[in-house]
Structure 1
């Protein structure tokens, strides 16, 4: 009886602990309703979140790191069908940008950051061997969200969750070794 109650409480605790970070996390690219891609110096965005309103699907804006709101960026009208709408910008210089899509009804379909890298220099052929040019920035590896800067509130919540997990583990192990104590 005691073991079954302990397993039930442990299962419920684990389920709550697994659901909490997902509920506290910010919107991801999949949840935001847009998909952003780059090919060379062209940035494109695709969404299926907007509806046709007064002959327009909405607008997409490409914001550099120095621009703060939708109106300051390079805007492009969305075009497409009821299944998919898209916009594209060509001749984008290297850097980090944020793409924001606002539907014609005023709702934001989503926003996502994108990195446009400098085009690789053409390889100079040599007579002794063939060579390939290396990627200009290499692999953007890191610790999960290394390409995005999370604020102190998000980091504080994460630290609090880790700290509470450590404290709960220590309390559980202490209580398990001496069941007559709290």
Structure 2
């Protein structure tokens, strides 16, 4: 537990940092010319580089919720913990935490990294999702994002047992990321059991 405190990653420290993180998410959304106020914040994710820290965080966060899923995705465990009480981040209530165990990539900073929002739609791939995002956010300036140093990544993450396609667009700037996808994590996890 001391290792988490020293790294500033103890859940109490992380919760104290939520208002500032929420403000950075809001700021990124404004820069992208989109409003996420009417959308569900599906889950919040943090990033760590050390396996022992990830294991300690996994145990520490279980005091705040229950493990919904422990799934191997892209060669590493991804833990999903559903909160007993949703976290309030800005105007959103977030019901789950995504904790990926470290893989090959090293993150410049550890801690909160992204919030994923559900843009409810039928989209089987990233092309179909882009059409839905254009409908939901007609003022999103795709061609100007690079000028604003916002990196865009489209992906089709999936666990070995998932049956529900959940294409994702990630918009990242200075260590903060907004991800948009059509299905909630809860639905994706349910599809694994189905």
TM-score of Structure 1 vs Structure 2, range by shorter chain: under 0.3
The structure with higher relative contact order (CA 8 Å, sep 6+) is 2
TM-score when scaled to structure 1? Answer: 0.23
Select the structure that is richer in strand.
Answer: 2
Which of 1 and 2 has greater Rg? 1
Task: Give the alignment's TM-score, normalised by structure 2.
Answer: 0.22
